[in-house]
Amino acid sequence: MTSDPNHVDFVRRIIVGDVERGKHDGRVHTRFPPEPNGYLHIGHAKSICLNFGIAQEFGGLCNLRFDDTNPGVEDVEYVEAIQADVRWLGFTWDDRLFYASDYFEQLYRYAEQLIESGDAYVDSLDAEKIREFRGSVHGVGRDSPDRTRSVADNLDLFRRMRAGEFPDGAYVLRAKIDMAHPNINMRDPTLYRIRHEHHHRTGDAWCIYPMYDYAHGLSDSLEGITHSICTLEFEHHRPLYDWFLEKLGVHHPQQIEFAKLNLTHVLMSKRNLRRLVEDGVVDGWDDPRMPTLAAMRRRGYPPAAIRQFCEHIGVAKFNSVHEIALLEFHLRDVLNKAAPRAMAVLDPVRLILDNYPEGQGEELEAVNNPEDEAAGTRRVPFGRELFIEREDFMEDPPKKFFRLAPGREVRLRYAFFVRCTSVEKDAAGNVVAVHATYDSETRGGNAPDGRKVKATIHWVSAAHAVDAEVRLYDHLFATEDPMDPRGGPDGRGNLNPESLIVRRGCKLEPSLAEAAADVTYQFERLGYYCVDRRDSRPDALVFNRTVGLRDTWAKEKAQGGG
């Protein structure tokens, strides 16, 4: 992508051209057409942002249309979830919520029209035979014996198909195009199949259902769509898309194909995601490690982060893989500006200020968001005994470690300077408490004598701390390509064993007890976290890590600099 707004992608370039030439009266009307057979994921978000975004930019409209032509795999559960996800992402379709099933009657009439014009016929070949007759990429196909059936017989048979006279699979309606076509999609594709199945919207009104290629383009046409934007795998279907519209002489939208989103470490195929859920590899479609919008919402992603990401990745025809780091950059960028700050200690060790009066305490003022003055301040309780991060203390620190160590002075964020005096250890040598003295002159965090410290660490008052479970999430797959063959045929060997680390007994500053369910907080110096909307309870808080802060110290350590 580019920061120059004059640079437009190839889809928008086509649309600009169409508008300038006055095609479709300069109207722009797009649609987002999910099949209600699964949850929306980040890949769909790219398409949603493209379709709804283009409509907004060109003063046009974008419909939400469910492609519900295969009742066996579709369900209302999904139509509701999909609507919630699109709305959450920040887009509205007003009263333009449609279903391909809305058009079943019209689609049927079009089919009869095609039969009458000799462009479609009823075939009795079974699925296997049809496949065989179609031939392969290496050679031409063969005509079905039924290809020459009379119009009258075709019409009669097709009507009886609708009437329910035949069992599943007995007949199909096929377009009569060209069995020798180099594009296999044009070798007499199927238009209708018999399925005695209950449809989630039309009930038992139909026992024949239209195929995607037939239903999709005509639905676009009926809705007055001008630009039908879809992914690259439909490129070979475009001649067919155009064929139906031309034969029927109806409104003809333009299909434009773009490369769908791929991300490193992320599995995007619906089928494989479903297997992760079914096999219990993850906790469900909204497990925060999943790439579904429901999961990302639960994980703490603000929708603006996803939108901003989608705006910046660009649109092209080249099949590419984006680094997950780019998504995380936009996530942190949005969160840094918006997230309220709080202090939390995930791996607590006690810090005792020996010169702080026992049984006393005070409240200190902390800034809620240094990036947003309007966020104001809050008061945080302080006392003699605190919790600090185990990682923020080292008995024998390497050169580049700036935090607490024997004899070392650091600042407690928004509080005082403290100097470490001694360490308490158990028989096994584990640090159980760190002792320090505080400088009462440094209240608020600055020394009147102007002396500096090299580090500021976060803390929580032991007397006021709220306990919580914190779930640290990381990429579900350790390899860039989740289906890397070295991980086995199902990619299971590529799973990241540390994609979820549960920390119990974490200590939070008391204000977090009332954390809002839809707000992602920054735990200072750690990362971004939000209440788990499914599992958290007032008496048993659960927080999810959305993403960590950039951590140059961890990088330093990893390079052996520590």
Partner RNA sequence: UUCCUCGUGGUGUAAUCGGUAGCACAGCAGAUUCUGGUUCUGCUAGUCAAGGUUCGAGUCCUUGCGAGGAAACCA
Q: Which of residues 476-505 bind RNA (CB under 7 A)?
A: none
Q: Would you count residue 395 as binding RNA (CB under 7 A)?
A: no
Strand partners, 508: 344, 466
Contact in structure between 64 and 36 (CB atoms under 8 Å)? no
Task: Kindly state the smallest distance separating residue 318's Cβ from RNA, in Å.
Answer: 4
Query: Considering only residues 116-145, where is the footprint of RNA by CB under 7 A?
Result: 125-127, 130-131, 134-138
Phi, psi dihedrals of residue 512, rounded to the nearest 5°? -70, -15
Give me Rg for the CA atoms of the chain: 31
Phi-psi region of 64 (alpha: psi -120 to 50; beta: other; left: phi over 0): beta
Position among 23, 159, 201, 312 found at the interface with RNA (CB under 7 A): 312
Alpha carbon distance 76, 82 (integer Å): 10
Position among 446, 467, 469, 474 found at the interface with RNA (CB under 7 A): 446
Task: Kindly state the smallest distance separating residue 403's Cβ from RNA, in Å.
Answer: 5
Position among 431, 462, 466, 549 found at the interface with RNA (CB under 7 A): 549
Contact in structure between 386 and 353 (CB atoms under 8 Å)? yes
Q: Would you count residue 402 as binding RNA (CB under 7 A)?
A: yes
Task: Kindly state the smallest distance separating residue 534's Cβ from RNA, in Å.
Answer: 27
Instruction: Say how many residues touch RNA, by CB under 7 A.
Output: 94
Please say which residue, 317 or 390, places its beta carbon nearer to RNA.
Answer: 317
CA 212 remoteness from chain centre: 25
Q: Would you count residue 1 as binding RNA (CB under 7 A)?
A: yes
Position among 85, 102, 119, 524 found at the interface with RNA (CB under 7 A): 524
Q: Would you count residue 251 as binding RNA (CB under 7 A)?
A: no
Position among 97, 152, 163, 316 found at the interface with RNA (CB under 7 A): 316
DSSP sequence for 106-154: HHHHHHHHHHHTTSEEEE---HHHHHHHH--TTS-----GGGG--HHHH
Query: Considering only residues 4-23, where is the footprint of RNA by CB under 7 A?
Result: 4, 7-10
Q: Would you count residue 553 as binding RNA (CB under 7 A)?
A: yes
Selected range binding RNA among 41-49, 309-317, 493-501, 535-543, rule: CB under 7 A: 309-317
Contacts of residue 253, Cβ cutoff 8 Å, sequence gap at least 6: 217, 220, 221, 225, 226, 227, 228, 245
Position among 94, 319, 538, 560 found at the interface with RNA (CB under 7 A): 319
Position among 52, 206, 387, 414 found at the interface with RNA (CB under 7 A): 414
Contacts of residue 338, Cβ cutoff 8 Å, sequence gap at least 6: 302, 304, 369, 372, 520
Position among 103, 121, 209, 241 found at the interface with RNA (CB under 7 A): 209
Token pair 């990302």: residue? 296
| Sheet of strand 208-210, all strands in order from the earlier edge strand to the far edge | 120-123, 172-175, 190-194, 208-210
Q: Would you count residue 297 as binding RNA (CB under 7 A)?
A: no
Position among 53, 178, 200, 329 found at the interface with RNA (CB under 7 A): 329
Task: Kindly state the smallest distance separating residue 47's Cβ from RNA, in Å.
Answer: 11
Contact in structure between 298 and 532 (CB atoms under 8 Å)? yes
Please say which residue, 32 or 93, places its beta carbon nearer to RNA.
Answer: 32
Query: Considering only residues 63-82, where is the footprint of RNA by CB under 7 A?
Result: 67, 69-70, 73
